[in-house]
Amino acid sequence: MSITTPWTIEGKNHERNFKSIMFLGLLWLSLFVAFLFLLILLVTTALNGVGRYDLRLFTAYNNTTPTDAGARAAILGSLFVVTVTALMAIPMGIAAAVYLEEFADRTKWYNNFIELNIQNLAAVPAILYGMLTLGVLTLMGLKNKNVVIGGSIALALLILPVVILTTREALRAVPQEIRDGSLALGATEVQTVTKQTLPAAVPGIATGTILAVSRAIGEAAPLLLLGALVFITYDPNGLLAGFTTMPIQIFSWTSAAQAEFKQIAAAMSMVLLVILLSMNGVAIYIRNKFAKRW
């Protein structure tokens, strides 16, 4: 019988000795250090960007004169690349997760192999996805590697394992009784998935995909390899157009010599942080608010 007992068994006076208090203090300290760093990072970055929080940051193209430079091309590039990324990675990831969680026979070696493979892919260094994409684009016969579709392929491959793993977790949280009930009423397995299991898992899947997409927005390493560090003064207008993205633009301004470029790099970092932290916030909100406890 595993009835959940509220665990107040521990004796309170035992906690009052010096060692225990020190231990708890150290635990608090480690959590505090994490929060402190988050705060310092936000404040120093915000302060570094003072003077460049203006409209030009969004409307102007990049410029060799720091005060005239803006991130219009990078912002539109990020938007374009990440939209295509999401369109590729999310349906594919959900489909793979549904197969692995709902249909796969765990005793078959190939299903185990696929599972192991996805767990490994989730931890493969991001930059290697850039190298893979170089190979894929060469196979597609594209000579110019810095194209929107190239960036999207790289980022989609990067976030696919994340989408699969989080979707699986969301599906796993749906109790077996719901599936059994649906099947017992005569629904087929596919109907059970599309009408019962998937809708029940939507909050978890939404949280996972938002986090995956925000990772794609912030990632720069694989795009660096495609040559996305370029000076672009036009809006990306097609899948084969050249592009740059916000993180790449920040990287390029950070490595520039003049101090004014650091300022605009910091301002742009804040824009990126606001976007990503609010996406994270929304994801966490959805998880806490809508995730059902069965």
Q: How far apart are CA 4 and CA 174, in angstroms?
A: 20
Q: Which of residues 140-179 bind another protein (CB under 8 A)?
A: 157, 160-161, 164, 179
**Assign residue 227 a region: left if phi > 0, alpha if psi is -120 to 50, beta otherwise?**
left
Q: How far is CA 220 from the centre of its chain?
A: 12
**Shortest Å, Cβ 271 to another protein:** 11
* Sole binder of another protein in the list 46, 60, 79, 104 (CB under 8 A): 104
Cβ–Cβ < 8 Å for 132, 58? no
Cβ–Cβ < 8 Å for 102, 194? no
**Shortest Å, Cβ 16 to another protein:** 9
Q: Which of residues 47-66 bind another protein (CB under 8 A)?
A: 48
* Sole binder of another protein in the list 119, 233, 237, 258 (CB under 8 A): 119
How many other C-beta atoms are found inside a 10 Å radius of the C-beta of residue 124? Answer: 13
* Sole binder of another protein in the list 50, 140, 190, 240 (CB under 8 A): 190
Phi and psi at residue 168, to the nearest 5°: -60, -45
Amino acid at 122: A
Q: Indicate the residue among 33 and 50 with the shorter CB distance to another protein.
A: 33
| 61 CB burial (10 A radius; 0-12, 13-18, 19+) | middle
* Sole binder of another protein in the list 84, 174, 250, 264 (CB under 8 A): 250
286 binds another protein (CB under 8 A): no
Q: Indicate the residue among 237 and 281 with the shorter CB distance to another protein.
A: 281
Q: Indicate the residue among 7 and 238 with the shorter CB distance to another protein.
A: 7
One character per residue 61-100, x = contact with another protein (rule: CB under 8 A) = -------------------------------xx-xx-xxx
Q: Indicate the residue among 177 and 237 with the shorter CB distance to another protein.
A: 177
Q: How far apart are CA 262 and CA 211, in angstroms?
A: 28
* Residue 116 C-beta-side C-alpha neighbours within 13 Å: 7
Q: Indicate the residue among 181 and 237 with the shorter CB distance to another protein.
A: 181
Q: Indicate the residue among 127 and 239 with the shorter CB distance to another protein.
A: 127
